[in-house]
Structures are given as C-alpha cells and as structure tokens.
Amino acid sequence: MSHSRYQIAAAIESILNAVPILSGRVHTNVWHALSEAKLPAVVIYTNRESSRRDTLIKSAGGMARTLSAEIYVLASGNSANDQTDEFCVAIEKAMAADYDLGIGVDDSYLESSDITKTVVGNNDAYALNMAYTIKYRTLVADPETIV
C-alpha cells in the first residue's frame, strides 16, 4: 500500500477523471513539460503536508495531517481562457460533491486559487492553480491507513 498522500492524489484523480469534460486529461505528479497536444490538462501535486499529534486518538498514536493538494489547469491557444474557466468550474463542482474524496478524509476545501497568463508565440497560455486543503488522520506507525 502507498502513503496516504499518494492515495489522496489518486482519489482526486479518479474523481476528476469521472467528469466527462476532464476525462483522460487528469495527471498526477507530472515533472516534465506537457506537449501542447495534451492541453488543456489538469495536473495534481500533493507535495506539502504538515502533521501533529492528534488529541482525539493520541492514546493510539494518532496523527492529524493537513495536506495541500495543488490542482493546476493548463491551457493554451485562442480558447485557453474559456477552457480554463470551464475546467475550473467542473473541478470545483466535482470536489465539492465528494468532500471526503471517497476514502474517508475528514475534510477537503478550496483554500485559494491564482492564475498566470503568458503569451507563447501568438497564443495565450494559462496556468491556474487551485490549492485544496485536505485534512485527515493516520496512526504514527501506519501512514498508509486513513482513520
């Protein structure tokens, strides 16, 4: 079994791939440039996490964890602005409909978003970052199981 943060990324990927407009365009932890042919695309990163002893399950060695899930929407071309907006609406609706991500996290919510626009050649290119906060619990000795 994988660490809970990777399970969370996979759960988000599954939720978003179930949305017809996003299906097949969602990727996790991509560390290379995506070709323009793969755009628009959604990329999920789960790289920042904080942990503390959990007072609710302290006797069992509990950890309360807060994970930042960065969901990027990438688009380029004449319709990039519209595609970015359409994808963001679909992501927000899908994430709001399944706040426990189907795997029992305590909470997930959109904390912030920011958009960057650049011009590449004659085309607009957009990168929108939607930062979701995911709160969940594990045991210290079992980071693979969300409790």
pLDDT, mean of each 10-residue run, the chain (147 residues): 92 98 92 82 94 76 93 91 95 96 96 90 88 95 91
Count of residues for the chain? 147
H-run or E-run covering 98: none
Contacts with 79 (C-beta within 8 Å, 6 or more apart), sequence order? none
Tell me, what's the pLDDT at 93?
98
A 10 A CB-CB count for 137 gives 19
pLDDT at 32 (0 to 100): 77
